[in-house]
Amino acid sequence: MKTQSFFIKYISLLFVLGTCFSCIKDTDFEQYDTLIIYPIVEANLVNAQEPAASFVDSSGAELPSISDQVIFDVFNSDFSVDNLIKAELVFGITNSINKAFQIKMDFYDSADALQHTFSIDIDNSPTNTLLFTEHIEVFENMNLLALKSTHKLEITITMISNPTSVILTPDSEGSILLVSKGVFYLKISS
């Protein structure tokens, strides 16, 4: 018992002496490192749903493709242009039409010059069940510069020939649903 008591007193004495004679510098709050934070921001971008009848014209003939343009003013401020270091555009497509499709995304600047393009292939749904396809387009380096200068996005949905698909009519079942979001990686420093 005495050995244990002596040991505890010895350790306590070392702790007290170490605390008393330890070196502590004065804190200077005028000296600080540049604060850098890396927030990640997610935002919904484009959502569209087209029923099978959208691919049929007024005479009942199939349309090979449909397209739409969206003003894409995500990068109309200096803050987003200066601080964006990476972006991912995530597209989720659900097809329940008995047709295969290709979705093409064209990114244009304010002078209508093509900056970036990519395509997503979508399988047909022979039984009109929901088939899901996901595509992630990553923008870094030169692609990121192209994205930052984008003013308009053109989305073109083109039907692809398939021997198991049917000819679409105004009464055809199914639809194609496109949802998308942007994941934006920022670097903000003070």
Q: Percent of the chain beyond pLDDT 90?
A: 63
What is the predicted pLDDT for the residue at 7? 58
CA 122/CA 99 separation, integer angstroms:
9
Map residue 122 onto helix, strand or coil: strand
CA dihedral 53, 54, 59, 63 (to 10 degrees): -120
Q: What end-to-end distance do the CA atoms of the chain give, in Å?
A: 59
List, for the chain, all residue ranges whose pLDDT scores fall below the cut of 70: 1-33, 163-164
Residues 150, 106 contacting (CB under 8 angstroms): no
What is the predicted pLDDT for the residue at 123? 93
pLDDT tens per residue across span 160-184: 977 667 889 999 999 999 999 999 9
